[in-house]
Amino acid sequence: MINYSDIIIVGLGASAGGFEALQKFLEKIEEHEKITYVIVQHLDPNQPTMLGNLLSKYTKLGISMIKDNDTPKGNQIYFCPPNNDLTIKNGKFILSEPREKAYPKPSINKFFESLALEKKEKAIGIILSGTGSDGAKGIEEIHHMGGITLAEDEGAKYFSMPKAAIDTGYVDSVLPPELMAEGIPYVINDRNYFTQQYEVKGSVYKIFDLLNKKTNIDFSSYKENTILRRIKKRINENKKTDIDEYIDLLNQNTDELEILKNELLIIVTSFFRGDEAFKELERELENLILEKSDNILRVWIPACATGEEAFTIAIIIKEILRKLNISKKVTIFATDVSDIAIESARNKNYSIEQMFGVKNEYIERYFDEKNTGYRPKKEIRDMIIFSKHDVIKDPPFSNLDLISCRNLLIYFNSNLQKVVMNVFYYALRFNGLLFLGQSETVGNLSTLFTTIHSKNKLYKKTNDLGIISPETINYTKKKASQILNEASGKDNNKALDIDFVINKAISQEYCKNGIVIDSNSMILFYKGDTSDYISQPQGIVTQDLFRLAKDYIKLDLRATINEAKKNNKYAISKKIKIFPFNSVDFYILITVFPLEINKLGNNNFYVAFDKITEKDVVYKKELSETMNQDEISILEEELLSLKERLQITIEELETSNEELQSTNEELQSTNEELQTVNDELSFKNSELEFAQKAFHDVLSAIKADVLIVDKSFNILKYTDGILKFFDIKKTNVVNFSTVLLNATVKLPNLLEDLKTSLLQDKEIGYEVILGTKVFWFRVSKIYMTSKNHNDDVGLVLSFLDRTEIFEKDKILFQQSKMAAMGEMIGNIAHQWRQPLNNLALQIALFVHKLENGTLDASYINSFKIDYDLEIKHMSQTIDDFKDFLTPSKNYDINFVHLAIDRSLKMIEDSLKFNQISINYKSGKQKFYGCINELSQVILNIFNNSKEVFIDRSIKDREINITIGTNGKYSVISIIDNGMGVEEKYFEHISKPYFTTKKDRGGTGIGLYMSKTIVEHMGGKIIFQNTKNGFKVNIYLLKDYVGK
């Protein structure tokens, strides 16, 4: 029994956005009898909370709502109920009514302060996501009493509360929630654990700095736990004792720095990864292509790794264009920060294992088979530009129809994810598609994208603000022209250089210093020295001209720009007087005119600044003849009056703002409570919507009649088709056992089957007959919740109509067997021909000796021995073929070579007669299935090869047989040199009744039945052409893997 005095109590303070942080924290905590967790989450005081139910899904520990005078126990999670403040004293939780109505409740400060007094050095205070500053004072108290204090890092959904705690100077470590949870058990034996982790974090940033200087890749915004794991791996592999020793190694060894860079750049990809997602993408891409009026399709694939995803999308686009019978100019920018990945993608030959997810028809259509693997054909390679590009630092491509960025964002922290999402938003054209990985979302840009498919993470840009966020601009340092030049490898810097294009356009119109702006008055380009008129203020970088312009020109600048925009022609300001220099008065004239630059789009303007003296004004005056000096003076007086009124309005607004500020404190507290409730309801609603949609999709897709019951056999749901088996509506009852009395199908042992499936977790299935139809009936146990508790179980009863399949199977198997018997008769003839010839010769000799009187007892005895041998050989042949034709469904574990040996024995004489040589390398691989059925498949393939050799008059006839393994499969490879199958027939060869030998009696069922037999054994069969012939790969399960 653990004493209360030995228990460490971990207080978790959270507010808005706290649910996500708590979820991450609880997923990582482990059971420990000396640790208790207490959650103090701001909650709506007027509503019951579902916090316990929602969080229980993410932890193995018990979780309960605190009651007054409860005693905290180890290995348990507690949370404070709504509309209560919580304290702890003398080993008891104390609930009290909040005194301050306007402040958040429960109060984190109040609980932390009592925790500090109660547990002293055995108190741990953690501040997670939230707005405001609740908890900061409590953190200070825990620190002063010797406890440990932690705060969530900038990845928090709302950083105000963690920041307020950090600003006190009393936080021991700033970490993401999952790292906090992983470290807490270590505190029991090492109170400096988190302080050391903070030091480790500082050392990690030294490594980031080294990598940035050497490789120009910034890892500082990658997720820390991912980075730390990989750095620790390199520390261990280099046999270093700590991170500081490893930093010394990196300073001395540039090769290790390169190795670490490649270790941190996780290069993982494959063809058609997530097949369902790519099918959804194909559907949406087809719609997009049909809707596009132009002839151009632009795609960007950041983090393309070794190119599989880029080629996948290229194939999908090719297939769409092929289906629609149209052409488009397709450009796919496939980029990555890794030189190794880009070089590999440009020159990659993919192995047979890497091609596993690619359909045979795609392999034939889009790949060339080489000695080193499969190489994408030129027509596919020419669609893709592989280039080194950093999505974080380098400017994005623009006007894109699709961005496919799958499983990159998961390695970035939340701040960097926001930056990258802003980049993607900017880069996509209106209605462009965004394709993300399974665990990724559009985050805070959800209002700018429409979700097309939530499960497959496919989005459409449907709100076009036409700007890129300021924080994104901070990351971009490299010109787009530079990237494109690197990608194409061509010397067209001048043509693509934006500087060159803009300068050329300006020089044709005007030569004064100035700036280029867009229709939103965002600065796009600077020409010459503009520092007298424009300056960058402190704070976030901005392009907004009116934030950058100096005060003395702002009003005139705005008026002149508005006039130019309104009339789309030259506009010139009045003279603006500035301070005299050497007793000479100076003035400024602002000139604004439209600028046509194709590279930047339409609606751009050049703003020129011209500093002149009094005598220059006379010369400039002719440019503004329409306005005399009196009119200008009147306007200046009116403007001065307007400025005074504006100043009064500003002062009034500032006064109102001070009054509103106090009200804001109360509103903020209410908002936090509402945000917490909203988080809970939103999460619960999302789960329900997803579950309902998934359930509906399953029932619609399975094409079976389904009935679902709970553990007491009460009916929960059924499809309409189930009514033809059970008259549920007529009986008007809820329990299924009563429905069975009026069943229209014979299921005599169904109740026993249901009980067996429920108690033994066993799936039961068999054929049932209803009238003239055949159904496959199946009973399966299901769990109603993700907990897999036996209290939450039910059963699914399904009827799948197999009548058509059953009839076809009967016909096809009969035809197949008849065809096989025909082949067998031919092979028997081959097998018997030689012994019959021998018998005929021996009988002729016997008769001759008899007629000549030379027949003696010795010869008769010799004749009998030879005669018996021949008869025995012929009898054995009949037995062999009889065994082959005997049906067998007794699947078992067998040696693969036995089926091959049997097939070769049966066709041996036929092969010799047709001068076909066999190269066969046997092995000890095993398979789960039936030897007779596999022999039939192999014999069918041999016969096909034989017929091809004869039809095409191939001289050197050869069949190569090898046995190998591939994962869970044993693989038989049979390759002939019969010149293969014509391209136009290839995709039809495994379909029933398709044959190229109709004039020679071909049935068209041989390869189809071979495919069917192998698939019934749980395997698969793949056909492909080789350079000189045809290859069949038969994949057979090595072992039984269940139904």
Instruction: Flag whether 473 is in a domain.
Output: no
Three-state secondary structure call for residue 999: helix
Is the pLDDT higher at 880 or at 902?
A: 902
How confident is the model at residue 13, as a pLDDT?
Answer: 96
How confident is the model at residue 932, as a pLDDT?
Answer: 79
Domain coverage including residue 1005: 887-1037
CATH of the domain at 802: 3.30.450.20
Domain limit, last residue, from 188, 212, 228: 188
Is the pLDDT at 1012 greater than 70? The verdict is yes
How many domains does the structure of the chain reveal? 6
Alpha carbon of 833 to those of 820, 826, 869: distances in Å?
20, 11, 15
Give tens-digit pLDDT for 4-16. Answer: 888 999 999 999 8
CATH of the domain at 343: 3.40.50.150
**Mean pLDDT comparison of 230-244, 372-386, 563-577, 780-794, highest-scoring range:** 372-386
**pTM above 0.85?**
no
- How buried is residue 650: exposed, middle or buried, by Cβ count under 10 Å (0-12/13-18/19+)? exposed
How confident is the model at residue 50, as a pLDDT?
Answer: 85
Contacting residues for 756 by C-beta, under 8 A, at least 6 apart = 762, 764
Three-state secondary structure call for residue 39: strand
Rounded Cα distance between 936 and 933, Å, is 5
Among the listed ranges 692-701, 735-744, 905-914, 997-1006, which one has the minimum average pLDDT value?
997-1006
Alpha carbon of 43 to those of 113, 160, 685, 687: distances in Å?
20, 17, 18, 21
Q: In terms of domains, do 433 and 314 share one?
A: yes
Rounded Cα distance between 787 and 765, Å, is 26
Is the pLDDT higher at 637 or at 864?
A: 864
Give tens-digit pLDDT for 284-315. Answer: 999 999 988 888 999 999 989 889 999 999 99
Give tens-digit pLDDT for 834-886. Answer: 567 657 767 877 888 888 888 888 888 877 877 776 676 567 566 655 555 55
Among the listed ranges 551-555, 680-684, 762-766, which one has the minimum average pLDDT value?
680-684
Q: CB–CB of 589/513 below 8 Å?
A: no
Token pair for residue 587? 């003035």
How confident is the model at residue 755, as a pLDDT?
Answer: 86
CATH of the domain at 105: 3.40.50.180
Contacting residues for 195 by C-beta, under 8 A, at least 6 apart = 172, 173
Q: In terms of domains, do 733 and 848 share one?
A: yes
Residue 122 — very low, low, confident or very high, per pLDDT cuts 50/70/90? Answer: very high
Q: What is the mean pLDDT of the chain?
A: 78
Instruction: Flag whether 880 is in a domain.
Output: no
Instruction: Flag whether 816 is in a domain.
Output: yes
Q: CB–CB of 78/13 below 8 Å?
A: no
Q: In terms of domains, do 901 and 838 share one?
A: no
Contacting residues for 357 by C-beta, under 8 A, at least 6 apart = 270, 271, 272, 273, 275
Contacting residues for 415 by C-beta, under 8 A, at least 6 apart = 154, 155, 221
Q: In terms of domains, do 244 and 298 share one?
A: no
Domain limit, last residue, from 215, 242, 264: 264
Q: In terms of domains, do 695 and 844 share one?
A: yes
Domain limit, last residue, from 807, 833, 864: 864
Q: In terms of domains, do 44 and 181 share one?
A: yes
Q: In terms of domains, do 813 and 839 share one?
A: yes
Q: In terms of domains, do 166 and 206 share one?
A: no
Q: In terms of domains, do 591 and 724 share one?
A: no
Q: In terms of domains, do 915 and 966 share one?
A: yes
How confident is the model at residue 841, as a pLDDT?
Answer: 67
The secondary structure element, H or E, covering residue 208 is helix 193-215
Residue 173: Cβ within 10 Å count:
21
Is the pLDDT at 316 greater than 70? The verdict is yes
